[in-house]
Amino acid sequence: MTKPRPLRVPAGRSHIHVRSLEIGDFHFIQRLASKQPNFTVPSAYLLWLLLRIDGAICLVAEHSTKGALAYLLALPVKDPKRSMFVWQFAASEGPERETASLSLLTEFREVAAGLGMESIVFSSVPNSAAYRAIRRYAWKVCSSVPKAVSSLPPAVSPIEREFLLPLKAKRRDRVGTVVTTG
């Protein structure tokens, strides 16, 4: 797994950085997952296994004095090709929630793009508060909105749908300006 680089934060701003998941984060993830509707609380064994899956992206947003604030667990999937499935993304309540979430998602986008991924896939309940938050973050981080692609099998979840978010490539033009393509 590519180790994410910490985000640089301007002086006087929040002291939130993003790093790879560590074994010491397991309790935080289990506690936060238990507070989320529709989340499965991952066992320590499953979290440990995620750390060993080639291409998985498991990140934590951490405040320098308050500790872990948010996490994201994602795995590469074969359909669609060159896609990353976000299994869980959650952030603690509090004043740093938005900053932690945006930092985490920005780093996730960069790591996924660095691995050659072309899209992000996730499931959610359409029009739920969680989906509306994801849609808002997707616009801020990727300048795109998720597109519903299919319903989950009823045995998995009768109310959730699968969504796809294209990753747009960034390149520099001849004068050094960042241009988004895709």
Q: Would you say residue 3 lies in a domain? A: no
The pLDDT tens digits along the chain (182 residues) read: 445 554 444 445 558 999 999 999 999 999 999 999 888 999 999 999 999 999 999 999 999 889 999 999 999 999 889 999 999 999 999 899 999 999 999 999 999 999 999 999 999 999 888 899 899 999 989 888 899 999 999 999 999 999 999 987 544 445 555 455 44
pTM above 0.75, yes or no: yes
Q: Would you say residue 6 lies in a domain? A: no
Q: Which domain holds residue 56?
A: 16-181
| CB within 8 Å of 128: residues ≥ 6 apart | none
| Type of residue numbered 181 | T
Q: Would you say residue 115 lies in a domain? A: yes
Q: Would you say residue 147 lies in a domain? A: yes
What does the pLDDT read at residue 174?
A: 52
The distance from CA 167 to its chain's CA centroid, rounded to whole angstroms, is 13
Q: Would you say residue 10 lies in a domain? A: no
Q: Would you say residue 76 lies in a domain? A: yes
| Type of residue numbered 64 | S
Q: Would you say residue 5 lies in a domain? A: no
Count up the domains in the chain and report the number. 1
CA distance between the termini of the chain:
25
Cα distance between residue 178 and residue 182, in whole Å:
13
What does the pLDDT read at residue 79?
A: 86
CATH number for the domain that contains residue 132: 3.40.630.30
Q: Would you say residue 54 lies in a domain? A: yes
What does the pLDDT read at residue 38?
A: 81
- Residue 166 forms beta bridges with which residues? 119
User: Of 157, 139, 42, 156, whose CA–CA distance to 89 is shortest?
Assistant: 42
